[in-house]
Chain A
Amino acid sequence: MKFLVFIFSLSSTLAVGQIDCVNCPPLSSVPLPTVTLPEVLPSLIDIKKVSYQRRSSVKHCKRPIDLVDTIVLHHSESSSQNSPQRINSYHLDRGWYMGGYTYLVNSPYRGESTPASVVTEGRPPELVGAHAGTDAYVPMRPKDKDAWNAGQILCGVEGGQFSPDSAELIRTKIVGGQRVEYMKANVTTIGVSVIGQYFGNAPRFQPTSNTLDMIAKLICRLQKENPNMVNLRVHNNYHPTDCPGNLGKASNLSYIVQKAQSYGCNFSSIPGHIKISTRINP
């Protein structure tokens, strides 16, 4: 009973907004403590997670995600109606560990309403992907060398021991009398693939502003999570291919970069077909 009376008196006091206090300073003069809250990143775009089949006996490699400085744009060159799981299944049929792209974008062709627009995570970002080209290598930066020497880039199979695998990832070339070490471009990049094929002049195969905007939001979200990701490239910067078709047109890349900028991100991009890697036979 006494407890109920206490609750009643407390609530009535709170209801009138004052608590009896002798010699209390007025509320406005009490300095408020400064609390630093963690920055809440605006969710530019949702990234769906799904489960994928994997081939546990196939070798794959792990890397520290902060080594990734480049996002490479692809198109899957397949039906636009494919699910990420279907692309994964195609890559499994190639004999791979799992799908090679890190993110997959479903978006309808111009004038169509399906598939639903959605971004899905593919191969986990901390795993080296399979997208830029097995023969595409880039010079090792000091931080790549540090990570390599610290044993942070490791290859192995599920359930087995992971170890450094220079035969898989590292090449050396003599350039101008200097010994240059190269690392597989897949280690320092992630692959973003738009599901569909964007070849040809037909309006259907020109990416819509919605598709380009989804890419901009995705890469900006990735940059906010990992500020090292500052370069936007396309597949044919690494490999002699027509991928990513019309997505790699200078006007479309410029649109993506400008959109990303409007979301607070900065990316450098270069036109398609300008080679930025060295092809070394695996």
Chain B
Amino acid sequence: MIRIGTFLLICLALLSGPAMAGLDSDVKALFEKHEKIIHLHQTELIEQVFSKRYIQDKGGLKDFEASIKEKPKADEKKLKDMSVSWKKGAVTDRILARREEMKNGKKDKGHTEYIVIKKDGKLIIDDTIGDAD
């Protein structure tokens, strides 16, 4: 009985492994674009990365663009000073992605957690949530 259970678990891991790896690269690709928007001011990517609801809460596309551009533009090196980890929601299909900025190879203060959802087959940032715990 235990052997059957172990066999099923191995099968599940083998089947879900590639799917998780695909999801992992999708999450990383999403946050690479996110960093390009935030640090390099490539605001033309906004609608590929953020949901309409998210953009609306930032005051609409124009205000969101303006809020990004009010911060100094960084160089491409800054894009590497970021670490993203993620997990699937314990209750829903949401992905909770944690983006942490690094300083001298160490995690800098605080982090933001992003609520990522799948819309039309693509991952998109729908909301954020604070680091209270």
What residues of chain A have their CB less than 8 Å away from a CB belonging to chain B? Answer: 53, 55, 74-82, 87, 89-90, 92-95, 100-101, 130-134, 191, 193, 197, 200-202, 204, 235, 239-243
Contacts and interface: CB of A to CB of B under 8 A. Distances in A.
Given A55-B90, A80-B57, A241 B131 contact: yes
Interface string B59-79: 100010011001000000000
Nearest to A131: B132
A80 B130 CA distance: 13
A93 B90 contact: yes
Contacts of A242: 110
Interface residues of B, number: 25
B1 to A, nearest CB: 24
Contact of B131 (A90, A93, A204, A239): A239
A167 B59 CA distance: 45
A90 B90 contact: no
Contacts of A241: 109-110, 130-131
B29 interface: no
Interface stretch (B7-15, B19-27, B91-99): B91-99
Contacts of A235: 130, 132
Contacts of B128: 77-78, 197
Given A90-B115, A202-B63, A239-B110, A77 B54 contact: no
Give the residue among B90, B115, B132 with the most A Cβ atoms within 10 A: B132
A210 to B, nearest CB: 18
A78 B132 contact: no
A134 B59 CA distance: 33
15 contacts: A55-B91, A74-B130, A78-B129, A79-B53, A82-B127, A90-B129, A92-B90, A92-B92, A93-B90, A94-B90, A130-B132, A131-B133, A134-B133, A240-B109, A241-B131
